[in-house]
Amino acid sequence: MSYFHANVRGLHYPLMALIHHRGFVLTAASLLPINKHTLVYGSGDAGKNVHNDDEALSHLMKTAAYRLKLTERLVQGNKMIAGPTDIGARPFHHRRQYVVG
């Protein structure tokens, strides 16, 4: 929610809903066409492999981190990541940058 409220034009998020019904709680999220090959920023495996492969997406993530008062840091000795390492960001074919994770 913090990234959503950072209001960075160009970053998008999957639709999510929290449903309460008769004592049960369900979290529903839209399906995105993602897999292990679409990750270009952050990590999908708890920091073992970190990506910062898309310059435009990196700029958007730096903007979000600045608004959230997060610092950019060096991870794995050669990758600069703004925000948490285990966040995942992916570009899609319709030129939208999604933050998932």
* Cβ partners under 8 Å of residue 96, min gap 6: 10, 12
pLDDT tens digits, one per residue of 34-88: 877 888 888 888 888 899 988 988 999 999 999 999 999 898 878 899 988 888 8
State how far the Cα of 75 lies from the Cα of 59, in Å rounded to an integer: 17
